[in-house]
Structure 1
Amino acid sequence: MSVSLPHPTAPRDLTHLLSPLDMGRFEVRNRIVMGSMHVGLEDRPADAKKLAAYLGERARGGVGLIVTGGFSPDRTGRLTPGGAQADARTMRRHEIITREVHEADGRILLQLLHAGRYAFHPLAASSAAGKSPLSPFRARRLTRRGAHRTVEHFAEAARRAIGAGYDGVEIMGSEGYLLNQFLAPATNRRRDRWGRDAEGRRALPLAVAAAMREAIGEDALLSYRISLLDLVPGGQTWEETAALARGLTERGVDVLSSGIGWHEARVPTIVTSVPRAAFAENTAALRELVDVPVIASNRIHDPAVAEQVLATGQADLVSMARPLLADPHLPRKLAESRAAQVVACISCNQACLDKVFEGKRASCLVNPRAGHETELVLRPVIPRRARKVAVVGAGPAGLEAALAAAERGHIVTLFEATSEIGGQLRLAARIPGKEDYAQALTSWRMRLAAAGVGIRLETRPTPSDLQGFHDVIVATGVAPREIDLPSDGGPQVISYVDLLEGRAEAGDRVAIIGAGGIGVDVAEFLSAPRPSPSLDVAAWKSHWGVVAADEEHRGGVATRPVEEAQREVHLLQRKETRIGAGLGRTTGWVHRAELRHAGIHQHRGVTYRRVDDQGLHITEDGEERVLEVDTVVVCAGQVSVDALAAEVTAARKGRAPRVHVVGGADLAAELDAERAIRQAVEVVAGL
């Protein structure tokens, strides 16, 4: 069973993406923007050197324009009590950041963001009193004077940013933060000049733009991140958004950066299941209205997709924030005709946005050095110190271990028992909505070849085969956990591996034993519409109820349509907790919404008894019952496959080889590719 990815009909070269652009205030060397993304290094001034290293590497990688994570103009607007603020002390520390970027011939903007009712502290203030779904703190209503002072604070912060060497500033007016809250009727019920009607709701964002234009002078760039589709009931109409865009350019905004969806929206906008460039048509509509450059964003992670967006006139620049986490040298590789070696971002959010929302430092699943440039260093070795390294297992941990070791200069051989690389990630790519995971495997394949790694497929090395190596990295992964389920005929009982590999098929009535990440994936595999909506923008928008933003459907959302069920599916777990509770902070709600929409029957606190001609016998809520199913899929966790490590250790002679166990072979609990890859790179850094 293979997975094919739809590729856009883009030009063979990347002429538009790599061409320079005169932004009015200065020229950028290409059309690639590293859009604003908080990584957790912004909050403490003491982390300025780490932030400089992180952003500086992207500048050296050739990105045209960098936008920092959001910094509040005042204490009220901080995201957290100790959150980033563009105060005088912080901006003095930032001179090292702007110097690092400018020495690499880069350009950088500081984003100013007022959290409004999204603030996670008791000083929160917004257009109206109330509490958002994202914070336990009730925001107070800004007074008229408070609104004036907020305008002044934005201008003062912008002035400090230019003093710190920034090439300009960006105003965060999207994603449901303060300025967006003033724009939406749902959150702005004021009767003063900052409300009343659509014109009044625009007053504060326009006043902020005008004040900041005056504060930063004629040479600095002023960007505004504008919400083109709020995706919340009571949001803006397109006519209101268009009027705002025209007003912003009249007040001196040089570039408009598109934002899609509030953080509280119940429509996904950036996860893997969102089609590529799903919202580019919204940016195209904006581009027709204004005479300044516009930046497209949201799920534009593939250079070919980015080129298509530019070549078809849908935008002037493209924002590729997470792709530049995955590969800081993406622009340089493209310019050197090495597009096949770009590290593929799979939009999983696991190590970046999920970490940020947990109050941790962001990194990247496929690039654990992201955000840790000063701490996780892969230093090249001189040829006479190169070691012979065997990596056994070509799952994510093994792939990255082999690649990192080869890039350091070691001599690497990668062994894989099956005929394909990828391990559990290859199975994940079969899930509707995760088709792009296959792109990561293609990327690894090309980079391994470029690094000179010897790959031996369908090979299980014996301990004696490995005695000639200096180091053996055991990345043999996991095997499905078997369960004791007495059977007396009845439903076929199959493993999730056999199902996803195509060696077994499920019937029309299915019970899934185990509701962890894999169980949820299997439920979606069995119930998702075919073809996958993720492969078609129109089908995906219909699937999620995304419509034109007009008076009837403010914010651009409608009730999701009822779809015909593909199967009767029961998802069961032993735990009493909510199914999907352990999924990622920014992606789990999407999976839970899909399960509800597909009509998946969810069972908690279940004891599995047996299968027979009646079906699957279980105990639920203290009562015995039978699920009349024809197929039982077992997703009851995994066990480490680690025997090789002990065998090699027992068989070794003299000082070699050293044995290192990484990934699932080291720890199988709750499959975690982010941990596995990071561990593999840490081991290689120490060779």
Structure 2
Amino acid sequence: MSTSVFSQVQHPELFEPTRVGSIEVKNHYAMGPMGPLGFSTAEGGWNQRAIEFYATRARGGIGLIITGVCQVTNPADGVPPGLIPNPTLSPGLFLTTSRDLTERVHAYDAKIVLQVGAGFGRVIIPGVLGGRRPVAPSEIPYRWDPSITCREMTVEEIQGIVAQFRIAGMVAREAGFDGIQVHAVHEGYLLDQFAISYFNHRTDAYGGSLGNRLRFAREVVEAIHESAGADFPVQLRFSPKSMIKDFGVGAMPGETFDEMGRDMDEGIEAARLLVSYGYEALDVDVGSYDSWYWSHPPMYQAKGLYVPYARQLHEACPEIPLIVAGRMDDPELAAAATADGTATLVSLARPTLADPEIVNKLQRGRRDLVRPCISCQEGCIGRIEKYSSLRCAVNPLAARELERPLPQATDRTRMRVLIVGGGVAGMEAARVLAERGHLPVLHEASERLGGVVIAGGQPSFKEDDLALIAWYERQLAELGVEVHLGSRVDAELIRRSGADHVLIATGSTPRLLDLGEGVPVVEATDALLDQDSLGERVVIVGGGTSGCELAISLRERGIEVTIVEALADVLKKNAPTCMANHAMLHDLVAYRGVEVLAGVRAEHVTDAGLLVSVDGEERLVPAQTVVTAIGYKPRHELEAEVKAAGIPYHVIGDARRCANIMYAIWDGFEVASQLAK
């Protein structure tokens, strides 16, 4: 094994046994809950894919697994059967499949808590709603279409849900779960809507005072204890602060604003009441569906973003055990949060998608081998939004663990594979081929692996993109992959390569814009790599992801920035982007003081800046440099040479279709995992 600067275990105290409420845990790490889309049988049990998914994370060292949310039957929401597991739809089947799950997890000395939700209410997605009118505590705007007013739930509907939790508690205990986590007085789900006065305008026993607004949550925990016993651990997913400025409008980090949801004072008061009702631990974050980039933090949010709020809660209520999430994959952050008692357990959700072995690797002192989560949210939240299936951008086998082990090459089937291009698609292909026992030979024209991700990783908030490149470099080195840097592939090299197969992973090339003579015109990739040379005033032509991220990065340096966008707004035409990432990047552009000229056409540069056309009239936008960020086009000119050589080949990554890191990695994995003579 190679030596590393991380060869010593960092913070061994994180791997000491602890207790969260009445549950003993072997270390201080929990696996955070993630929507179990694609994990349900048609009757609401766990499918084999789900069981393997959680067992893999237990084998990876997690102390406490919190399952993704399983909904009880809620006719008011009308979630269709089979979308997510349901302990009350077919209790017998759920119990049987859960037994398989809990026994597999317990074999690794891990504990597992079943997260069970009361419903969505006003935040239920349109595809699930099926044309029905959404419900809520009161007649308030529907989250996804404010022109629709939600129907107020009846007391009978509330009591029906409480009764379902009575069944769920009994089933969970019989199935071998170590407890239940109720979902949730957090993120603006149904129980949270009842708890927040901004959403709850009722005048009956479920509205008015804080105690009344928490009555629904109180009756739920009491029902679980009635059926499962007073000693059965019940936790609660809880947001002490909502970060809501208005319906559908969230607050920026550090922004001074009037909290329309739950503020910290009420959050602390609510926490005390909830624990007095019978919840023995709180799983803490902040945010809501109206401020979704807090509940699902993109790379634009700081690491450990929930810790300051959890610390306030801990200082006010030190007796309450807290599980704390929020980009906590850095052991330094985790150790600091547990050292002062803020976090009893540190929760890792997306990092366990990216690397199921993260805890084991940290415990072995091999942080350098941890495949980093890049907080793109495309494989997790993005795939759930679009395809109702949990995945991961950087780990193509996430939620596909049944496909392990990869098919191995034999002496008869082993191939020499020429990979042209050292971006993430090419590196992933080389890694997978080497793991399978093939002989990949990678050629990269530049002097460094990483492709366009090197430039994309330059902003301060994209450090994990660079960490991903470093991870690939270490993987290829440890696997002994033959890598040639500064090696431009041509027809001659292809002919004498002796390759049985060629993978063309040459990436993309920027689309260029001829703006004439005047101030310097720089393409976005070059601008990202040399931001300090652009001057004090910069105009960016193109308001896609690259243009907006560059603008925010330049503002961090104190540079004045104007974005010129031909469409009606920034981020209108873009590579796939998860809603939380898209919304936060869009809001950050205005919050950081970037001027946006939308519906404007760039004409040509002058010695003073950029001339643009606004409603048919020319206007000068002062600038010392103009940056073009108008997208990319696939680059696969070598395809003809490979065809002429008669060697089988595939085109992968951006060379096939310009998209994002996820699709480049998935291309590399898919082709390399199945490649055969």
Shorter-chain TM-score category? Answer: 0.7 to 0.9
Bigger shift: residues 336-345 or 603-612? 603-612
For 2:669 and 2:476, locate their aligned partners in 1 and report how far apart those are by CA, in whole Å: 15
For 2:422, give the aligned amino acid: A
Q: Contact 1:383/1:409 (CA < 8 Å) preserved in 2?
A: no
Task: Write the deviation string for residues 381-438 of structure 1: whole angstroms up to 9, x where unpaired.
Answer: 3466433333222211112111122222223333222222221211111124223322
Could you say what secondary structure the match of 1:602 adopts? strand
1:36 counterpart letter in structure 2: P
In structure 1, how many angstroms separate the alpha carbons of the residues matched to 2:665 and 2:386?
20
In structure 1, the partner of 2:111 is 107
> Structure 1 residue 146 and structure 2 residue 151: aligned?
no
Alignment-derived partner of residue 117 in structure 1: 122
Retained in 2: the 8 A contact 1:379–1:685?
yes
The aligned counterpart of 2:307 is 280
Question: Does the CA contact (< 8 Å) of 1:619 and 1:625 recur in 2?
Answer: yes
The aligned amino acid for 1:647 is E
Structure 1 residue 170 displacement after superposition: 0.6
Matched, 1:475 2:505: yes
Q: What TM-score, normalized by structure 2, do the two folds share?
A: 0.86
8 Å CA contact 2:390–2:399 kept in 1: the answer is yes
Decide whether aligned partners of structure 1 residues 442 and 304 sit closer, same or farther in structure 2, where only a CA change above 3 A counts: farther
Aligned to 2:548: 520
2-structure distance, mates of 1:523, 1:429: 14
SS for the counterpart of 2:626 is strand
Contact (CA 8 Å) 1:498, 1:504: kept in 2 or not? no
The correspondence of residues 159-558 of structure 1 with structure 2, limited to 5 A, is 159-172=170-183, 173-217=185-229, 220-232=232-244, 233-265=259-291, 268=294, 270-288=297-315, 289-374=317-402, 378-382=406-410, 385-466=413-494, 467-485=497-515, 487=516, 489-502=517-530, 505-526=533-554, 528-530=555-557
Deviation digits for residues 286-342 of structure 1 (CA, Å, limit 9, x no counterpart): 334143532111111233432332234321111100000101121222233322111
- CA-to-partner distance for each residue in 1:330-388, whole Å, 9 max, x for gaps? 12222333221111011111221122223431211111111233358623334664333
Q: Deviations over 1:561-591 (max 9, x none)?
A: xxxx731413223x45654454431211111
Contact 1:194 1:202 in 2 (8 A): yes
Matched, 1:15 2:18: no
Determine the C-alpha separation between the residues in 2 that align with 1:20 and 1:145. Answer: 44
Counterpart of 2:247? Answer: none
Asked if 1:639 is matched to 2:633, the reply is yes
Distance 2:341 2:474 in 1: 31
**CA shift for structure 1 position 202:** 2.4
Structure-2 separation of matches of 1:219 and 1:386:
58
Of residues 32-41 and 103-112 in structure 1, the stretch that sits farther from structure 2 once superposed is 103-112
Measure how far apart 1:664 and its partner are.
Answer: 0.9
- Alignment root-mean-square deviation, CA: 2.9
Residue 127, structure 1, aligned to residue 137, structure 2 = yes
> Is the 1:606–1:619 Cα contact (8 Å) retained in structure 2?
yes
Residues 74, 161 of structure 2: 8 Å contact kept? no
**Contact 1:394/1:422, CA 8 A, preserved across alignment:** yes
The question of 1:40 aligning with 2:68 is answered no
Amino acid at match of 1:350: E
Task: Say if 2:660 is the partner of 1:672.
Answer: yes
| Contact map agreement 1:48 1:97 (CA 8 A) in 2 | no
Q: Distance in 2 between matches of 1:518 and 1:290?
A: 44
Match of 1:552 in 2: none
Asked if structure 2 preserves the Cα contact closer than 8 Å seen for 1:260 and 1:298, the reply is no
The equivalent of 1:91 in structure 2 is 94
Amino acid at match of 2:359: P
CA distance in 1: counterparts of 2:308 and 2:439, whole angstroms: 48
Whole-Å Cα distance in 1 between the matches of residues 177 and 282 of structure 2? 18
Cα distance change of structure 1 residues 149 and 303 upon mapping to structure 2, 3 Å threshold: same
- Farther off after superposition, 602-611 or 188-197: 602-611
Distance 1:442 1:225, change over 3 A: same
Change (3 A) 1:99 1:621: farther
CA displacement at 1:54 relative to structure 2: 1.8
Instruction: Tell me, yes or no, if the aligned pair for 2:300 and 2:585 is still in contact at 8 Å.
Output: no
Given that 2:537 and 2:624 are in contact with CA atoms closer than 8 Å, whether structure 1 keeps it comes out as yes
User: In structure 2, the residue corresponding to 1:435 is in which secondary structure?
Assistant: helix
Determine if contact 1:369/1:377 at 8 Å carries over to the other structure: no
Distance 1:360 1:204, change over 3 A: closer
Query: Equivalents in 1 of 2:318, 2:448: separation in Å?
Result: 50
Amino acid in the other structure paired with 1:639: K
SS of residue paired to 1:413: strand
**Counterpart-to-counterpart distance in 1, 2:384 and 2:461:** 23
CA distance change for structure 1 residues 268 and 645 in 2, over 3 Å: closer, same or farther? same
State the distance in 2 between where 1:503 and 1:230 align: 36
Letter in 2 for 1:199: G
The 10-residue stretch of structure 1 (408-417 or 672-681) with the greater mean CA deviation from structure 2 = 408-417
Separation in 1 of the partners of 2:348 and 2:612?
A: 48
Equivalent residue, structure 1, for 2:254: none
- Count residues in correspondence: 636
Determine helix, strand or coil for the equivalent of 2:384.
Answer: helix
State the alpha-carbon separation in 2 of the partners of residues 235 and 576 from structure 1. Answer: 31
Alpha-carbon distance in structure 2 between the residues aligned to 1:410 and 1:479: 30
- Amino acid paired to 2:329: H
> How far apart are the structure 2 equivalents of 1:410 and 1:239?
60
Q: CA deviation at 1:280?
A: 1.1
The answer to whether the 8 A contact 1:295-1:316 is kept is yes
1:40·1:356 contact (CA, 8 Å) conserved in 2? yes
2:551 is the alignment partner of 1:572? no
Change (3 A) 1:446 1:75: same
Structure 1 residue 590 and structure 2 residue 618: aligned?
Answer: no
1:48 alignment partner AA: N
Q: Is the 8 A contact 1:48 1:94 kept in 2?
A: no
Q: Which residues of 2 match residues 9-88 of structure 1 at below 5 A?
A: 13-23=10-20, 25-42=22-39, 44-45=41-42, 48-76=47-75, 78=77, 80-81=79-80, 83-84=83-84, 85-88=86-89
**C-alpha distance in 2 between matches for 1:77 and 1:271:** 32
Structure 2 residues without counterparts, runs of 5 or longer = 245-258
Q: Deviations over 1:509-539 (max 9, x none)?
A: 333222222222222233x234xxxxxxxxx
SS at 1:371 equivalent: coil
Distance 1:452 1:307 in 2: 34
Report what 2:251 is aligned to: none
**Structure 1 counterpart of 2:252:** none
Secondary structure of the corresponding residue to residue 556 of structure 2: coil
Q: Aligned letter for 1:651?
A: A
Aligned to 2:563, what secondary structure does the other structure show? strand
State the match for 2:674 in structure 1: 686
Instruction: Indicate how the Cα distance of structure 1 residues 577 and 449 shifts in structure 2: closer, same or farther if over 3 A, else same.
Output: same
Q: Which amino acid aligns with 2:504?
A: V
342-351 vs 79-88, greater mean Cα deviation = 79-88
